[in-house]
Structure 1
Amino acid sequence: MIHRLVYKRGSINSDETIKAEPTKDVISVRFTPDELIFDKDFYFRNEFINEYIKRYSTVNPEIKFIYNGTEILSPHGMKDFIEWKFDDLLLPTIHISGKGIDLAINAARNLNGKVKNQYTSFNNAWNGYYSPETKSFITSTVTTLNNYYGLSLNIENYYGLMLQPADEHNPKEFYMHEERFPGNLVGALWIKINDPLYNISQRRTLSSKWLDKAQTITVEDFVSKFIETELPKYLNANPESTKRLKDILMKKQL
């Protein structure tokens, strides 16, 4: 079925079914600027729009977006996010997915002109906002790598940056906050939370403690158990990347 709604200045101008036969699930949006609101010099800031669509696509890997004829698709979720956001990656991206969770880790030589550590997390697929609820991400990853490699990496000895939510009025700006993460790692984590809770002053900061409404498992426990179980499995199955990652963590080749 194809159904069309036309809005103008907050009112529905038309509401009609164009085709009754079954069709694929597709949503098409066409925007025409209102001449009473926008002046003749109106134009789309494509760099902002593309940024939002690309970010949204990485947390909705099953959806294909077409913006002004350009396809935007991220079938590998957080892996695509890492490889889109960071240049000069040193490894094949470590990509581990499970029910309600998607994790990607890599290492980069040059981040914005400096070797620093960055990680990002997402909550739920519908908004694609960054969230600072990632302490368990760092702690679990460091603990797992220490145990796997027999290292003694100390979170307090490393400097990194955390990307927090983009300003909703300026989507290319990110709030940078100091955090700790070993080596020269970049990471992205997405988790699905039922009935997510947000900071009362803004919907961009996740404050959920529990993963589900029944409060059967916390966000921290869910992330920790997944990383501590699945990351060693990946490392065992990919010996070449495993050795390279160890060298990077020990700062032998950077």
Structure 2
Amino acid sequence: MASNYTEASIKTLSSLEHIRLRPGMYIGRLGNGTHAEDGIYVLLKETIDNSIDEFMMGGGRKIEVELTDRSVKVRDYGRGIPLGKLVDCVSIINTGAKYDSETFQKAVGLNGVGQKAVNALSLSYRAQAFRDGETKVVEFEQGRLKSQTKVTKTTDRTGTLIEFTPDEKLFGKDFKFRTEFIEDMLWNYAFLNRGLTLTLNGKPFRSEHGLKDLLTKELSGEPLYPIIHLEGEDIEIAVTHGKHYGEEYWSFVNGQHTTMGGTHLAAFREAFVETLRNHFKKDFDAADVRQSIDAAIVVRVQEPVFESQTKTKLGSTEVGPKGHTLKEFVGKFVQQSLDTYLHKNRETAEIIKAKIEENEHERKELAGIRNIARERAKKASLHNRKLRDCRLHLGDRNPRAEESTLFIVEGDSAAGSLTATRDVQTQAVFALKGKPLNTYGLTKKVIYENEEFHLLQAALNIEESLDGLRYNRIVIATDADVDGMHIRLLLLSFFLQFFPDVIRNNHLFILQTPLFRVRNKKITRYCYSEPEKQAAIVECGASHEITRFKGLGEISAGEFKDFIGENIRLDPVNLHHLYSSDELLSFFMGKNTPERQDFIIGNLRVEKDLVEA
């Protein structure tokens, strides 16, 4: 029987109640801090954005961030929030100065929501404004005002101090800020705001060369030619090519990192291809021009239109700087400045041309064997039971599609245990035959010649791009022994070599599985480390017994259910703080056995030393 739908069914929520009930509308996702786009980082970003806007308006050249446990402080030296409006500015939605384009030009935050969401989603929130020798403090709890001081005299410099602790009722009891994600955020702010110094617990972040510095820091290997750095009014671009597969971009609008791109990035990608076609007077394939590209772009526009409150993608705004559409503005700048640069730097131009021709040659070579590989894969898939697929996939119109996961395991034994206990709606299993091929130094041709890698590529549906990726999470699930670690390295090498975007877009994970089971007749504890094992021994008492799991195949299906369900432990694979993945791959996967051998011998520690340490 359908429930009654009457006037009593209609509810009106306050802005605070709505933010806490529907946080996804304001900060995207919640999460516990293991992902760079989890909500706790959005709260920090929204706070820093206001300080950045002050810097862009000429207020203050330093922003200090302090991270203590699970609380964050942000202090700027801008103009300071007007004391009489301090409560309103941090708690009443749609309140702010940024509706007046004469007060804030080309600001990041424009709709008066961000800081109110930070307040509403925090267990505790404190704001202090310093202005003209006076100060005022307001404190909130879960968005509700708890106290406010009177205006008092101060000798502190003008500016604003925000301190907040995210609410564990929303973000989970185990939420945690990861320093590497915050450092990446601060570096991006520094690259986009030359002359600004940001600090994290005293560590400075500052850039002298803008996007050129960004690209230098983020490149996964040596560039094929010196970074091309182009600057104009309201636009800046840095671009080069590397040796990797795929395209890598960093795009920004008014200092906002648009991780999902948007109209400005689409305009650049198109203009880059057209400019090189015109310069070399040859109708190159667009894919050949952009293969292996590394590029960063920032545009500054008044009142940008984003596709959501989290501002990760620039919407289809037609209004760009100087009265042009954004597409025209970006296209004209790229065509003029890049063409001029290439005429002045002939050596770079020739390297780019050679790279495009190399990409074209490889693409045509691959085309010759693709059909053969596809036919072989089609026949193999009729008899191959290595993939146990799930029913929901990334992109399906189903709320659970984001949960879609592919576990890559070694051997049929582990695959059998996992398959017997998995969630058939969202969890798929791909079983490797044994150790996969070491792909380091090989070309993409190996994917089509190696049946196992081709089947894996087909299962993921990433041959052309990530647009068709069938699983949100790709989980490497290998044994916790030497062979398992080796297989893990081989798979990481495969993704780094040929599909780095899988890693850059946070789709690749390592499954943590228990090393020990400690139990007595009443208690069973699964332990992932030696300290956890020792704690379990104390809990279980003298009658305990210990089982050491050497491989996933030893774990029964009934036990496996605990490790891949709600309590699943996943370590995200990322490229943070890694200047050159090429160097890393060369050391671990290359044919430099003497170098590795010397390193291992030089770092050996015998068991006696470990015990004494």
TM-score by length of 1: 0.72
* Structure 1 or 2: more helix by fraction: 2
8 A contact 1:183–1:251 mirrored in 2: no
Q: Partner of 2:349: helix, strand, or coil?
A: helix
**Matches for 1:25-40 after TM superposition, within 5 Å:** 29=161, 31=163
Per-residue deviation, 1:152: 2.1
The number of residue pairs the alignment matches comes to 220
Of the three residues 225, 229, 240, the one matched with 1:95 is 229
Q: Write the letter of the residue equivalent to 2:258.
A: Y
8 A contact 1:82–1:104 mirrored in 2: yes
Q: Write the letter of the residue equivalent to 2:325.
A: T
Tell me, in whole angstroms, the C-alpha distance in 2 between the residues paired with 1:39 and 1:225. 48
Q: Residue 28 and residue 83 in structure 1: after superposition, are their counterparts in 2 closer, same or farther (change >3 A)?
A: farther
Q: Residue 189 and residue 150 in structure 1: after superposition, are their counterparts in 2 closer, same or farther (change >3 A)?
A: same
8 A contact 2:230–2:338 mirrored in 1: yes
* 2:305 is the alignment partner of 1:197: yes
8 A contact 1:100–1:192 mirrored in 2: yes
* 2:270 is the alignment partner of 1:139: yes
8 A contact 1:7–1:14 mirrored in 2: no
Q: Residue 54 and residue 17 in structure 1: after superposition, are their counterparts in 2 closer, same or farther (change >3 A)?
A: farther
8 A contact 1:183–1:250 mirrored in 2: no
Q: Residue 55 and residue 34 in structure 1: after superposition, are their counterparts in 2 closer, same or farther (change >3 A)?
A: closer
8 A contact 1:106–1:186 mirrored in 2: yes
> Percent of aligned pairs with the same residue?
23
8 A contact 2:226–2:240 mirrored in 1: yes
Tell me, in whole angstroms, the C-alpha distance in 2 between the residues paired with 1:223 and 1:34. 39
- Residue number in structure 2 paired with 1:18: 154
Q: Residue 135 and residue 36 in structure 1: after superposition, are their counterparts in 2 closer, same or farther (change >3 A)?
A: closer
8 A contact 1:144–1:228 mirrored in 2: yes
8 A contact 1:184–1:249 mirrored in 2: no
Q: Write the letter of the residue equivalent to 2:184.
A: E
* 2:288 is the alignment partner of 1:154: no
* 2:294 is the alignment partner of 1:186: yes
- Residue number in structure 2 paired with 1:80: 213
8 A contact 1:107–1:185 mirrored in 2: yes
Q: Residue 32 and residue 217 in structure 1: after superposition, are their counterparts in 2 closer, same or farther (change >3 A)?
A: closer
Tell me, in whole angstroms, the C-alpha distance in 1 between the residues paired with 2:227 and 2:340. 15
- Give the RMSD, CA atoms, in angstroms: 3.5
- Residue number in structure 2 paired with 1:232: 339
8 A contact 2:257–2:312 mirrored in 1: no
Per-residue deviation, 1:91: 1.9
Q: Partner of 1:190: helix, strand, or coil?
A: strand
CA offsets per residue over residues 120-166 of structure 1, 9 Å max, x none? Answer: 321112x33333222221111111111112332122x44xxxxxxxx
- Residue number in structure 2 paired with 1:68: 201
- Residue number in structure 1 paired with 2:323: 216
Per-residue deviation, 1:19: 3.1
Q: Write the letter of the residue equivalent to 1:154.
A: D
Tell me, in whole angstroms, the C-alpha distance in 1 between the residues paired with 2:215 and 2:333. 19
* 2:261 is the alignment partner of 1:106: no
Q: Partner of 1:75: helix, strand, or coil?
A: coil
Tell me, in whole angstroms, the C-alpha distance in 2 between the residues paired with 1:199 and 1:40. 31
- Residue number in structure 1 paired with 2:595: none
Q: Which has the larger radius of gyration?
A: 2
8 A contact 2:250–2:257 mirrored in 1: no
Q: Residue 8 and residue 182 in structure 1: after superposition, are their counterparts in 2 closer, same or farther (change >3 A)?
A: same
Tell me, in whole angstroms, the C-alpha distance in 1 between the residues paired with 2:213 and 2:277. 27
* Larger RCO: 1 or 2 (CA < 8 Å, sep 6+): 1
8 A contact 1:109–1:184 mirrored in 2: yes
Q: Residue 98 and residue 7 in structure 1: after superposition, are their counterparts in 2 closer, same or farther (change >3 A)?
A: same
Q: Partner of 2:323: helix, strand, or coil?
A: coil
Instruction: Name stretches of at least 5 consecutive residues in structure 1 with no aligned partner.
Output: 159-180
Q: Write the letter of the residue equivalent to 2:345.
A: N
Q: Residue 87 and residue 247 in structure 1: after superposition, are their counterparts in 2 closer, same or farther (change >3 A)?
A: same
8 A contact 2:211–2:238 mirrored in 1: yes
